[in-house]
Amino acid sequence: MMDASSGISRRGLLGAFAATMVMAAPTYSNAAGFLRGGGDIRRVRMYSGRTGERIDMIYWVEGEYIRDALKEINHFMRDWRTNDAVGIDARTVDIIAATHNLLDVNEPYMLLSGYRSPKTNAMLRSRSSGVARNSLHMKGQAADLRLASRSVGQMAKAASACHAGGVGRYSKSNFVHMDCGPVRSWGA
C-alpha cells in the first residue's frame, strides 16, 4: 500500500524502521536468550551459490514475525532442483539467526540445502549414506550452511549452544546441518 501524499510504501517504511533497529540492537551474549525473545529484532543473511540469490532481512520485530519476510525466506530456501517451496519452520530460521549472532560475523551464510522435495531427497540418498530417509529438510525444518570465515567446529559449537534442535557436523564436506527437531548432535 502506497501513501499518495508522501510516496512512501508500507514496506519501505518497515524497511527503514528495521534498518534503524539493526543499528540500535543490543549484542546478545548467548543464543538461548536470543531465542527466548531477548532482543527486539531477528535478522537472517544468506546467499545461494546455486541460484545466485541473496537474502538479508529482518524477519522478526518486537516479538512478531514479519509475514512477508517469512514468505521471502520460504522462496529463498526452496528446493532449487525442482523449484518447489514450503513454509520453512520459523524455529529453524531462529536457530540459524541465533547461531550467526553467536559467531559474531558479518559474512552471510552460504545455503547449501534448505527445503528438499521428496524426489530430491531420494536422489541425494541414492548418492550418499549421509542423507536421512525421513530428512527434516523435507518438512522445511532444516538447513545445511557454510561460512568461509568459520570452521565446521566453530559453527557446530555455536549451533549446539542454542539447545534448540539438531546439529550435524560434516567436516569433509565443510558444512553444518541445523534443524528444529529434537536436540541432538552427530558427525565429526
pLDDT of residue 131: 79
More confident residue, 66 or 20: 66
Give per-residue pLDDT as tens, 107-121: 999 999 999 999 998
Confidence of residue 167 (pLDDT cuts 50, 70, 90): very high
The arrangement of secondary structure in 2-187, i.e. its CATH architecture, is 2-Layer Sandwich (3.30)
Contacts of 48 (CB under 8 A, 6+ apart): 54, 76, 80, 110, 111
Confidence of residue 35 (pLDDT cuts 50, 70, 90): low
Contact 80, 115 (CB under 8 A): no
Contact 111, 53 (CB under 8 A): no
Q: What are the grid coordinates assigned to 71, written together? A: 514468505
- Mean pLDDT of all residues in 48-55: 94
Rounded distance between C-alpha atoms, residue 43 and residue 77, angstroms: 15
